[in-house]
Amino acid sequence: MAASAKVRVPATAKKGEVIEIKTQVQHEMESGQRKDAAGKAIPRQIINKFVCKYNGAEVFASDWHPAISANPYLSFFITATESGKIEFFWTDDKGEVTKAEAEIKVS
């Protein structure tokens, strides 16, 4: 499934400032516990890993499980240390990766 993502990162921050990052990815997050009309189990297909990198260094990661809702929203905080790129990666059970990125200017 080709997912899409939205991220919200402040455009600017002061060095050392703690900033809030907000993300949302569109994904059905099928738990594998439901059955189709014929009574067959619908295979599990969830995002199981989220990673955030700041100028190439991993600054936040989480493992996800079937109880995460469809189109999951995630908010977390990082410290602004330098201007650059913040990258986001969501990996699902099939190994497909949804990517997003944002730039931040730190003064």
- What pTM was computed for the model? 0.91
Domain boundaries, the chain: 4-31+43-106
Q: Give the pLDDT of residue 3.
A: 74
Tell whether domain 4-31+43-106 is in CATH 2.60.40.10.
Answer: yes
3 state SS of 105: strand
Tell me the pLDDT tens digit for each residue of 3-13. 799 999 999 99
**CA dist 47 to 15, 39, 106, Å?**
33, 24, 31
Q: Which residues, in sequence order, are bridge partners of residue 26?
A: 4
Among residues 107, 106, 4, the alpha carbon closest in space to that of 54 is found at 106
